[in-house]
Chain A
Amino acid sequence: MTSAARPKALYEGVAALSEKAADFAAARPAPPWLQKLRRTGLAAFERQGFPSTNDEDWRFTNLAPLTRAVFALPPDDVSLAERTEALEMEARLGTIGFSASEPRLAFVNGRRLRRNVGPLPPGIFFEWMGTVLRDSPELVEKALVASAAAEDRARSSFAALGDAFLDEGVVLRVAAGVRLEEPLFILHVSTPPASSEAPRMVHTRNLFSLAEDSSATVIEAYLGSSGPSFMNARTDVSLARSARLHHIKLQLEGTESFHVGTLAVAHAAGATSASHVFSFGGKLVRNEVAIGLAGEGAATELNGLFCANSGQHVDCHTLIDHVAPRATSTELYKGVLDGTGRGVFDGRIAVRRGAVRTDARQTNRNLILSDNALVDSKPQLEIENNDVRCSHGSTTGRLDADAVFYLRSRGLSPEAARALLTYAFGSEMIEKLASADVKAFLEGRLRAWLPAKLATPENR
């Protein structure tokens, strides 16, 4: 029985999770459509289970450690200890911590921590999902139901699980023609539970909709301490004609954390998006970006930097679906792997029959710093018409020995030379950002990640 010997799905832990989801739904009154959405999500999750490594999309990422762990929803009320710890962790974010002035919605273990949203310009709606579901669910009903029914849902157990626990997150709506310069900030902080409690899980859902000719920048940051935790996050974005979104994801959780996060962006004609993913590891991290280019002339730019050290696994999975003519996509993902760290880049570009004059370029470059680090790179290009310009490339290698010697010949120690070259490799992705505060924060974060101390490049 080959099929039994090679299961496509893992069912361990599913029953426990589904019991929690049923309790969760029973305790929360909701309009009938939301009840149905949760039920449908739960049923889909129970049916699908967790994907196994026999599922092509999960070939290099074994979810068994996640399915075996037991996670509990945190209690409804945020404790004083949680709040204190979360605020302290936020303060340590430096240039993007407390002092930052941009509108911010912050969560601790999935519940509301603080809201720092001053008077927003007219046409900007930036609100807790929980508030919207209670007071004006009609604003999100259509989009949430559509997201649940979307094509990729059949493959995504985590999206189904997110539906089953749908309750909180952020809703952003930008009115036609409104262009917001300053970024909007969504912060998630995971704190460890008291020693008697099970590790926590969070299912969060963001819904952004940008009307015609509007633009916005959103930063999502996921912060965590060293204990185990499970973050299941999904952001669905709808860009109307000529709308523009800049999206920055900072994955900064602890070494024992599980993180599965998806950004899905649907583009109308002429809409553009830029996604920047910075992922600094965890026990098991999966960053998914799914781009739908169904509008003519839409454009997307995907950038990513992922770093993994010993005991960490970071998987970056991107899909760019070219449906309409004359859309463009450029993608650059870089991985840095040290110790026994493992990385995955799986980037798929699909160019449909009607997507003539598509321009798609994809690059993955990985830097291996130790003998035991490993990265699996799987670029995929599926082209169904001839009138396209597509390229993809993937390189994985070590630091250039000539460059190391060049730096040593100027007096730098081998460790300092390696740190400087590694920093240079990663910082290219930081340089692409517009915000000086986010850049400064990430430069510090990357330096802190390096195996050797690197002098602060204050005059770079």
Chain B
Amino acid sequence: MNLLEISNLHASIEEDGTEILKGIDLVIRPGEVHALMGPNGSGKSTLAHVLSGRPGYVVTQGSATFEGKNLLAMPAEIRAREGIFLAFQYPVEIPGVSNTYFLRTALNTVRKHRRQPELDAIDFLALLDEKAKLVKMEEALLNRSVNEGFSGGEKKRNEVLQMAVLDPKLAILDETDSGLDIDALRVAASGVNALRDGKRGMLVITHYQRLLDYIVPDLVHVLSDGRIVKSGDKSLAKELEAKGYSWIEREPAPSAAGAASR
């Protein structure tokens, strides 16, 4: 069964009705890593938000299913429990909530949903210790408040750590590379790569090809003005790097729904 199946998805900003996604078609099978590239404002982050159930968007047309279930009918927390994980572009600081407590609460909520036994403090700390090594997360950060006072790199590593602990079926990484220097990028990417296990699907959203040197995708899609205008293998990313996005933006959209001839 396909992990994620999106067809003709249209979505607008709730507040002013501006349409951002104008007919997205995308299929992710278990184990596949897809990269979604595109210029600023093309709708990359909006797609991530809509898939994760963030309030503020309205789906006006189309569908999205996760393991055959209607994803769009699920509240955000159910999507998370079913196995969708969004690594935020801008992780939120939560003063007063320790990283460890937060992660354990989240994991046990997810495990309960999956009918797995909850982990007690000792078992959880053992698991956390193992996963923290994966992303080279210092113990001090685990005991601090969630993301509070973290550097950009620490915040992104914390996202990958959460992903490792929650063990999702589909991970959506929203510009995980933004704001990272090359060392921080390598650490985050190696954490992500360690989670590629042939079953987990990934949607890696990025503006730059750079990240894809470290997380090598099976497929690359280019988003422009709310539609996927080109798909290909990893060489497409290289081509974009060389030619820039303007080359793509001039291509006519292939999908019938949006094929307004120029």
Which of A's residues lie within 8 Å of B, judged by CB? 400-403, 405-414, 416, 420-421, 423-425, 427-428, 455, 457-460
Contacts and interface: CB of A to CB of B under 8 A. Distances in A.
Contact of B94 (A408, A421, A455): A421
Interface stretch (B15-23, B99-107, B248-256): B99-107
Given A405-B54, A413-B77, A459 B125 contact: yes
B106 A401 contact: no
A412 B75 contact: no
A424 B105 contact: no
B121 interface: yes
Contacts of A406: 88, 91-92, 94
B52 A409 contact: yes
Given A401-B55, A405-B76, A459 B97 contact: no
A428 B55 contact: no
A428 B96 contact: yes
Nearest to B165: A410
B10 interface: no
22 contacts: A401-B55, A403-B92, A405-B54, A405-B76, A407-B102, A408-B53, A409-B77, A409-B85, A409-B86, A411-B109, A412-B106, A414-B75, A423-B97, A424-B94, A424-B96, A425-B96, A427-B96, A455-B108, A457-B101, A459-B125, A460-B100, A460-B101
Main secondary structure on A side of the interface with B: helix
Contacts of B156: none
Interface of B: 52-55, 75-77, 80-81, 85-86, 88, 91-92, 94-98, 100-102, 104-106, 108-110, 113, 121, 124-125, 145, 162, 166
A460 B110 contact: no
Given A409-B52, A423-B97, 18 more contacts: A407-B102, A408-B75, A409-B88, A410-B162, A410-B166, A411-B77, A411-B106, A411-B113, A412-B106, A420-B97, A421-B97, A423-B96, A424-B95, A428-B95, A455-B105, A459-B104, A460-B98, A460-B100
A105 B106 CA distance: 44
Nearest to A406: B92
A263 B11 CA distance: 58
Nearest to A405: B54
Contacts of A412: 77, 105-106, 109
B91 A408 contact: no
B95 A416 contact: no
A424 B88 CA distance: 21
B30 to A, nearest CB: 21
A81 B98 CA distance: 44
A417 B52 CA distance: 16
Q: Which of A414, A427, A457 has the most CB of B within 10 A?
A: A457
Contacts of A414: 75, 77
B125 A408 contact: no
A459 B96 contact: no
A410 B92 contact: no
A459 B121 contact: yes
Nearest to A428: B96
Shortest beta-carbon contacts, A-B, top 4: A424-B96, A410-B106, A406-B92, A411-B80
A401 B15 CA distance: 15
A406 B53 CA distance: 11
Contacts of A416: 105, 109
B97 A409 contact: no
A424 B97 CA distance: 6
A408 B105 contact: no
Q: Which of A420, A423, A459, A460 has the most CB of B within 10 A?
A: A459
A459 B101 contact: yes
Contact of B55 (A405, A423, A457): A405
A306 B81 CA distance: 35
Contact of B80 (A408, A420, A457, A460): A408
Contacts of A460: 98, 100-101
Given A403-B94, A457-B101, A460-B101, A411 B110 contact: yes
Contacts of A425: 96
Nearest to A417: B77
A459 B104 CA distance: 9
Contact of B124 (A428, A457, A459): A459
A91 B107 CA distance: 35
A409 to B, nearest CB: 5
Contact of A459 (B80, B94, B100, B162): B100
B93 to A, nearest CB: 8
